[in-house]
Amino acid sequence: MKKIILLLFITVKLMFQNVGLCQFNFEKVKFHKIKDEVDYLKQLKKSEQDNKNSLIIVVYDNYIGEPSFQNFISSLNENFKNDTFSNFINQSFNCSFIKHKYHNENWNQRNPFLFSLKQSFKIGHPILYFVYLNSKGELIHKNYLSGNIYKNNENNFRSSLIEALDTSTQCYTLIKKFKQGNRDTTFINSFFKIIRSSSGDSTDEYMLDYINSQENIYTKQHANVLMNNYSHNVALEHFYNNREKWLKVISNKELEEYYKRQINNQVHDYFFFTDYFRKPDSLINLLETKYPEYGRKIAILFLLRNQNNYEAFDGFIEKYLDNNLVKELSVIEMNTIAWYIFLYSTNRYSLYIALNISNKSLLHEQNPAYLDTYANLLYKLGQTKEAIEIETKALELVDASKKKSYQETLDKMKKGEQTWR
């Protein structure tokens, strides 16, 4: 009953509080810094004596220094007035944090305790984990942040707290229920969503179990489960290898959209969580081999959007953005690629390729966004008079809510100011 009351309390508070980032103060939530295994076991013993859950934040020291971590915690505290949030956390959890490095085998070997703990928690690539243990020291839930730790961190942390207190959403409680044979549709949909977004664990082993447990997987209901389960591997390969059977259940359009979305997600995982970001040629070849109809195009488009080395970016454009690929692009894809080249390239050859692609998009539709891209490319290539004419036309066609942005671009062109980053 105590946990139910606490859960209702935090849920109501979270619904009505402001979500913006605020100023910093590290004193409200009490975090103990775990130094070694003895210290860790003491904290678990304390939680057992206090009959509290443990909240352990695992921080990758490579990416987050002490001030940044303090600012992160403070930004959570300051969202709640009168210490409501920090008091709730202090009363509900014994809080600790561990600083850990990754991609450093020598360091791991010198710190066997932290290396072992990382493995037991199944800590992966995201840079900051929230790990929750019950009063017995058993893992009941985790959540994680990756990328910019200040982006949407409060919402992530709040939802994680709620899930960790509610036995119906604790990820490791759900795994136990799944392994016990629960295949109710409502439970399954919730299970896959929470496991993927909260625990950081792959859903693939559970998805394969789910597929194999069904007498007839080829139904609309099962299609909905598989297509919305957040699994990028097992479900995709099942749909891809059994296309004809699934076309009797769902439309070709649904299947095509699913393939493209999930293959793009797979490229994302290869790029950000393996060393394939250093080997774009290998990544393209891999995806083209796995998914001959879709892989090459999707991998190339993804890499064009994620080339941070601008020198390599121009070489990539010249090598891969050929006429055969352009013929496969949708109008939206044409505009997107042309816009990325406009933003990030100063190479005239690349800019003319983008101008040609942008022009092709305008042959399909005189969309103000496409006109804006074309005008900006002309402007960057020094064709100012024509650029102003096209941007003026875009301004006339665009919705009232976007006119301010287009007007600012037009004014910059007239003043000879830069319109790109």
DSSP per-residue string spanning 186-230: HHHHHHHHHIIIII---SHHHHHHHHHT-S---SHHHHHHHHTS-
CA angle 245, 248, 249 (to 5 degrees): 100
DSSP string, 65-126: -HHHHHHHHHHHHTTSGGGHHHHHHHHHEEEEEEEE--S-HHHHHH-HHHHHHHHHTT--SS
| CA dihedral for 166, 169, 172, 173, sign (positive or negative) | positive
Q: Are 13 and 80 in contact (CB under 8 A)?
A: yes
Q: What is the pLDDT of residue 198?
A: 66
What is the reported pLDDT for 64? 55
Query: In terms of Cα–Cα distance, which of 119, 131, 128, 193 is closest to 164?
Result: 131
Per-residue pLDDT of the chain (421 residues; tens, 9 = 90+): 444 444 433 433 433 333 222 222 335 667 788 888 899 999 999 999 999 999 888 877 655 555 566 666 665 555 444 456 677 777 888 888 887 765 555 555 667 787 788 778 877 666 678 889 999 998 888 887 765 545 555 566 777 777 888 888 888 888 889 999 999 888 988 888 787 766 656 778 889 999 999 999 999 999 988 887 666 688 999 999 999 999 999 999 999 999 999 999 889 888 876 777 778 899 999 999 999 999 999 999 999 888 777 778 898 998 999 888 998 899 999 999 999 999 999 999 999 999 999 999 998 888 999 999 999 999 999 999 999 999 999 999 999 999 999 999 999 999 999 999 7
Phi, psi values for residue 75, rounded to 5°: -65, -25
- β-bridge mates for residue 96, sequence order: 32, 56
Positive or negative, the Cα torsion across 32, 35, 36, 39?
A: negative
What is residue 2's predicted lDDT score, i.e. its pLDDT? 44
Collapsing DSSP to helix, strand or coil, 399 comes out as coil
Whether residue 154 contacts residue 80, with contact meaning beta carbons closer than 8 Å, is answered with: no
Amino acid at site 315? G
Please state, in angstroms and rounded to a whole number, the distance separating the CA atoms of residues 341 and 237. Answer: 33
With residue 31 as reference, give the H or E element that holds it.
strand 31-33
State the Cα–Cα distance between residues 41 and 399, nearest whole angstrom: 61
* Tokens of residue 360, six digits: 């092709």
Counting Cβ atoms within 10 Å, is residue 392 exposed (0-12), middle (13-18) or buried (19+)? middle
Tell me, what's the pLDDT at 243?
95
137 secondary structure, DSSP code: S
Residue 322 per-residue DSSP state:
-
Helix, strand, coil percentages (3-state) for the chain, rounded to 5, are 65, 10, 30
Q: Please tell me the predicted confidence (pLDDT) of residue 61.
A: 66
Structure tokens of 98?
């561990």
Determine the Cα–Cα distance for residues 277 and 260; give it in Å rounded to an integer.
20
Distances (CA, A) of 148 to 52, 67, 144: 30, 15, 12
Q: What does the chain come to in residues?
A: 421
Can you give the pLDDT at residue 78?
A: 52
Q: What is the pLDDT of residue 23?
A: 27
Cα–Cα nearest to 378, from 405, 399, 410, 351: 351
Report strand pairing: 31-33 vs 93-100: parallel
Q: Among residues 229, 295, 288, 284, which one has the least CA distance to residue 259?
A: 295
pLDDT for the residue 355: 96
Give how far Cα 18 sits from Cα of 79, 152, 155, Å.
6, 12, 11
Q: What is the structure's pLDDT at 24?
A: 28
Evaluate the CA torsion angle 263, 286, 122, 212 in order and state its sign: positive
Question: How confident is the model at residue 21, as a pLDDT?
Answer: 25
Q: How much is the pLDDT for 101?
A: 65
